[in-house]
Amino acid sequence: MTNTTLKLVVKLFAIASAFRPDDPRELRENILKSYLRYYLQEKYIQEFISIYYFYIQQQKPREAGYYKDLSLKSVKTLRLLAAINNEMLYGDKMYLLMHLAEFFQGKEEVASQEYDFLQTIARSFTMPEMESHDFFYFLLFGSQQVVRQERLLKVVGDSRKYLNENHQVIERKNFEGLINFLHLPSAHLFIFYYQGEEPLFLNNVKVVPGKSYFFDKGNSLSGYKAGLHNVKLEPVYYNEVAEQFLSGRLPHPVELKIDQLGYHYSGSREGIQPFSFSSRSFFLVGIMGSSGTGKSTLLKLLNGSIRPTKGNVWINGYDLHAYRKSLKNLIGYVPQHDLLFESLSIYENLFYSARLCCGRQKGGQVHQRVADLLHELGLWHIRHRRVGSHQEGNISGGQRKRLNLSLELIREPAVLLVDEPTSGLSSNDSLQVMNLLRKQTLKGRLVIASIHQPASRIFKLFDQLLVLDEGGRTTYAGDPAEALVYFKTLHEHVNAQEKECSVCGNLPAETILEIMEEREVNPDGEQAPQRRMPAKRWYERYKDHLEPRDTGPPEQKLLPPLNKYTPGWGLQWKIFTKRNLLSKIRNKQFLLISLLEAPVLALILAFFTKYTAGTPGDQYAYIFSRNMNLPVYLFMSIIVALFLGLLSSSDDIIGERRIVEREKFLNLSRSGYLLSRLFILAGLSGLQMLIFVLLGNTILEIRGMTLPYFWVLFATAFFANMLGLNLSSGIRSRIAIYVLIPLILIPHILFSGMVIPFDRFHGRLTHGVYPPVVADVMASRWGFEALAVKQFRDNAYERPLFSVHRSESFYAYRVNHYLPRLIEECRVIRQHMKQSDPSRSTGNDMVGLVRNELEDLQKWKPLPTAVEDAVSTRARWTEATLHGIVDYLQSARRSQARKLERVVYRKDSMIREMAQRHDLTERKKNHHNQGLAKLVTRQNQRNKLVIIDQRLVRNFEPVYQKPSHSFGRAPFFAAVKKLGSRWIGTWKFNLAVLWFFVFILYWLLYFDALRKLLDALHLQGDVEA
Amino acid sequence: MTRISLLLILLPLVLLNCRQQENKGKGRSAHPTGSHQASVRQDAATDSSVYHRFPSSREMLNYIRSSDFTYQPGLTNPTGNKGHYHSSFSRTLNLGGYLTDMAYLSHFKQTRKTREYFNTVVELSNDLRIKIPEKQEVVDRASSDLSNIDSLVRIGRDYETKVLDYLKETGQERTLAILMTGSYIEGLYLAVHLVGDYREGDPAVEKIAEQKYALDHLESFVRKHIRGAGDSPALSYLKDLNGIFRKLEISRESTRIRRDSARHMVIEGGDRLVISEKDFVELRNKLDEIRHQMTAKNNKEGYVEED
Residue B300 has pLDDT above 60, yes or no: no
Top pLDDT among A489 and A385 is at A385
Mean pLDDT value of segment A856-871: 83
Does the distance separating the beta carbons of B171 and A616 come in below 8 Å? no
Contact B86 A893 (CB under 8 A): no
Residue A278 CA to residue A315 CA, distance in Å, equals 10
CB contact under 8 A, A615 and B303: yes
In a domain, A4, yes or no: yes
Q: Indicate if the pLDDT at residue B152 is higher than 90.
A: no
Q: What gap in Å lies between CA B163 and CA A666, rounded to an integer?
A: 80
Please report the pLDDT score of residue A475 as a whole number: 94
Contact A912 B88 (CB under 8 A): no
The answer on pLDDT for B52 being more than 50 is no
The answer on A836 and A721 residing in a single domain is no
Q: Is A819 on the interface with B (CB under 8 A)?
A: no
Give me the number of domains chain A comprises: 4
* Whether residue A295 sits in one domain with residue A436: yes
Q: Which residues of B touch A913 (CB under 8 A)?
A: none
Answer yes or no: is pLDDT of A253 > 60. Answer: yes
Query: What is the enclosing helix (H) or strand (E) of A192?
Result: strand A189-195
Q: Is the pLDDT confidence value at A599 over 70?
A: yes
In a domain, A237, yes or no: no
Dist. CA A370–CA A378, nearest whole Å: 12
Q: What is the mean pLDDT of residues A576-602?
A: 91
- How many whole angstroms from its chain centre is CA A984? 44
pLDDT digits (tens, 9 = 90+) for A937-980: 998 888 888 888 888 989 889 999 999 888 889 999 999 999 99
pLDDT of residue A240: 82
Low-confidence winner among A133-137, A588-592, A611-615, A933-937 (lowest mean pLDDT)? A611-615
Q: Are residues B129 and A942, on separate chains, in Cβ contact within 8 Å?
A: no
Residue B252 has pLDDT above 80, yes or no: no
* 8 Å CB contact between A103 and A20: yes
What is chain B's percent helix, strand, coil content, to nearest 5? 60, 5, 30
Cα distance between residue A961 and residue A683, in whole Å = 37
Residue-wise pLDDT tens digits, A524-554: 888 888 888 888 888 999 988 888 877 778 8
DSSP string, A890-901: HHHHHHHHHHHH
Query: Which of B129, B170, B302 shows the shortest C-beta gap to A894?
Result: B170
CB contact A898 to B (< 8 Å): yes
Q: Which of A86, A113, A84, A108 is nearest to A96 (CA)?
A: A84
Do residue A406 and residue A530 come from a single domain?
A: yes
Q: Is A206 strand, coil or helix?
A: strand
DSSP state of A292: T
Q: Mean pLDDT throughout B188-194?
A: 89
Please report whether residue B217 resides in a domain.
yes
| HEC assignment per residue over A966-989 | CECCCCCCCCEEEECCEEEEHHHH
Residues 6+ apart with CB under 8 A from A438: A188, A217, A284, A447, A461
* Residues contacting residue A5 through CB under 8 Å, at least 6 positions apart: A83, A84, A87, A88
**Residue numbers in A near B87 (CB within 8 A):** 907-908, 911-912
A772 and A853 part of one domain: no
- Provide the 8-state DSSP code for A546: I
| φ, ψ of residue A941 in degrees (nearest 5) | -70, 120
Q: Is the pLDDT of residue A839 over 70?
A: no
Question: Is residue A928 situated within a structural domain?
Answer: no
**Statement to judge: residues A315 and A445 lie in one domain:** yes
| CA gap A672, B73 in Å, rounded | 77
* DSSP summary character for residue A190: E
Is A907's CB within 8 Å of B87's CB?
Answer: yes
Angle between the B135-144 and B149-169 helix axes, to the nearest 10 degrees? 170
Predicted local confidence at residue A565, as pLDDT:
72
Of A831, A740, A289, A836, nearest to A514 by C-alpha is A289
Contact between A640 and A609 (Cβ < 8 Å): no
User: For residue B171, which residues of chain A lie inside 8 Å, CB to CB?
Assistant: 894, 897-898
Residue type, A525: G
- Per-residue pLDDT at A915 exceeds 60: yes
Beta pairing partners, A213: A192
CB proximity A707 to B under 8 Å: no
Please say whether the beta carbons of A262 and A272 come within 8 A: yes
Chain A contact for B175, CB < 8 A?
yes
Interchain contact B136–A (C-beta under 8 A):
yes
Compute CA distances A224 → A172, A175, A179, A230, whole Å. 11, 8, 14, 7
How far is the C-alpha of B180 from the C-alpha of A439, rounded, in Å? 106
**Dihedral (CA of B291, B292, B293, B295) sign:** positive
Confidence band of A319 (pLDDT split at 50, 70, 90): very high
- B230 vs A contacts (CB less than 8 Å): 905, 908-909, 912
**H helices of A38-181, where?**
42-58, 64-73, 75-85, 90-102, 112-124, 129-141
Does B255 fall in a domain? yes
Across the range A747-752, mean pLDDT stands at 94
The answer to whether residue A977 sits within a structural domain is: no
User: Model confidence at A268, in pLDDT bands (50, 70, 90)?
Assistant: confident
Going by their DSSP bridges, the two strands A446-451 and A284-289 should be labelled as parallel
Query: How many C-beta atoms surround the C-beta of residue B296 within 10 A?
Result: 11
Q: What is the structure's pLDDT at A678?
A: 94
Residue B145 lies in a domain: yes
**With an 8 Å Cβ cutoff, is A900 touching chain B?**
yes
d(CA A260, CA A254): 19
Nearest-Cα residue of chain B relative to residue A891: B170
Q: Are residues A825 and A773 in the same domain?
A: no
Tell me what pLDDT residue B35 has: 32
Q: Is A874 on the interface with B (CB under 8 A)?
A: no
**Nearest C-alpha neighbor of A402 from the set A328, A464, A330, A340:** A340
Interface check for B251 against chain A (CB to CB < 8 A): the answer is no
Q: Cβ contact (<8 Å) for B88 and A815?
A: no
Instruction: Say if A259 falls within a structural domain.
Output: yes
Same domain, A348 and A380: yes
Task: Judge whether A360 and A567 are in contact, CB under 8 Å.
Answer: yes
Contact state of B136 with A942 under an 8 Å Cβ cutoff: yes
Give the domain-ending residue among A95, A111, A127.
A127
Tell me the HSE value of A232 on the side-chain side, using a 13 A CA sphere: 6
Confidence of residue A226 (pLDDT cuts 50, 70, 90): confident
Mean pLDDT on B201-205: 79
- Binding-face residues of A in 934-963 toward B, CB within 8 A: 939, 942
What pLDDT, on the 0 to 100 scale, is given for residue B147? 59
All residues at 6 or more sequence positions from A777 whose CB lies less than 8 Å from its CB, including other chains: none
Q: What is the pLDDT of residue A847?
A: 85
Give the Cα separation of A416 and A284 in Å (integer): 10
Q: Confirm whether A31 is domain-assigned.
A: yes
Cβ density class A274-290: b for 16+ within 10 Å, e for less: bbbbbbbbbbbbbbbbe
Predicted confidence at residue A875, as pLDDT, reads 67
pLDDT of residue A285: 94
> Under an 8 A CB cutoff, do B306 and A912 touch?
no
- Which 3 state secondary structure label does DSSP give B155? helix
With cut-offs at 50, 70 and 90, classify the pLDDT of residue A614. confident
Are the C-beta atoms of residues A420 and A400 closer than 8 Å to each other? Answer: no
DSSP string covering A538-600, please? HHHHIIIIIS----SPPPP-PPPPPP-----HHHHHHHHHHHHHHHHHH-HHHHHHHHHHHHH
Highest mean pLDDT among A833-842, A1002-1011, B160-169, B268-277: A1002-1011
Note the helical H segments in B82-231: 88-107, 111-127, 135-144, 149-169, 173-195, 203-225
More confident residue, B6 or B268: B268
Residue A698's pLDDT band, with cuts at 50, 70 and 90, is very high
> Could you tell me the pLDDT band of residue A564, with boundaries at 50, 70 and 90?
low
ipTM confidence score: 0.77
Indicate whether A964 belongs to any domain. Answer: no
Inter-chain CB proximity B87 and A908 less than 8 Å: yes
Q: Nearest-5° angle of CA B53, CA B55, CA B60?
A: 90
Q: Which domain holds residue A410?
A: 250-546
Host domain of residue B239: 2-17+54-68+77-295
Q: How far apart are CA A453 and CA A514, in angstroms?
A: 10
What's the N-to-C CA distance of chain B in angstroms?
A: 38
pLDDT average, residue stretch A585-594: 88
pLDDT confidence of residue B10: 42
SS3 per residue for A84-111: HHCCCCHHHHHHHHHHHHHCCCCCCCCC
Domain final position from A879, A901, A919: A919
Name the residue among B136, B228, B306 with its Cβ closest to that of A616: B306
pLDDT band at A468 (very low <50, low <70, confident <90, very high): very high
Q: So what's the pLDDT on residue A725?
A: 93
Q: Does B27 touch chain A (CB under 8 A)?
A: no
Assign B20 a pLDDT band (cuts: 50, 70, 90): very low
Within a domain: B228: yes
Mean of pLDDT over chain A: 87
The pLDDT of residue A892 is 93
> Which pLDDT score, from 0 to 100, does residue A304 have?
87
A48-102 pLDDT, tens digit per residue, is 999 998 888 887 555 455 445 555 557 777 888 888 887 888 888 999 999 988 8
Contacts of A619 in chain B (CB under 8 A): none
In the predicted structure, residue B31 carries a pLDDT above the cut 50: no
Q: Are residues A510 and A648 in the same domain?
A: no
How far is residue A987's CA from residue A994's CA, in Å, rounded to a whole number? 11
User: Are A313 and A432 within one domain?
Assistant: yes
Residue A345 is classified by DSSP as B
Asked whether residue B47 is domain-assigned, the answer is: no
pLDDT, residue B30, reads: 32
Query: What Cα–Cα distance (Å) separates residue B307 from each residue in A891, A900, B79, B302?
Result: 46, 37, 10, 16
Q: How far apart are CA A962 and CA A970, in angstroms?
A: 8
Q: Do the Cβ atoms of A980 and A652 come closer than 8 Å?
A: no
A871 shares a domain with A778:
no
- Whether residue B42 lies inside any domain: the answer is no
pLDDT band at B302 (very low <50, low <70, confident <90, very high): very low
- Please indicate, yes or no, if residue A150 is contained in any of the structural domains: no
Question: Quick check: A619 contacting B, CB < 8 Å?
Answer: no
A411 and A450, same domain (yes or no): yes
| DSSP-derived pairing of the beta strands A152-156 and A178-184 | antiparallel
How many domains in chain B? 1
- Indicate the residue among A87, A105, A127 that finishes a domain: A127
pLDDT level of residue B117 (50, 70, 90 thresholds): very high
What is the rounded distance in angstroms from the CA atom of residue B95 to the CA atom of residue B178? Answer: 9
pLDDT tier, A500 (very low <50, low <70, confident <90, very high otherwise): low
- Say what the pLDDT of residue B284 is: 93
Q: Are residue A678 and residue A763 in the same domain, yes or no?
A: yes
Q: Tens of pLDDT along A673-688?
A: 899 999 999 999 999 9
CATH label of the domain that carries residue A500:
3.40.50.300
Alpha carbons A234 and A225: distance in angstroms, whole number: 11
Q: Does B41 reside within a domain? A: no
Per-chain mean pLDDT for chain B: 74
Which pLDDT belongs to residue A620?
Answer: 85
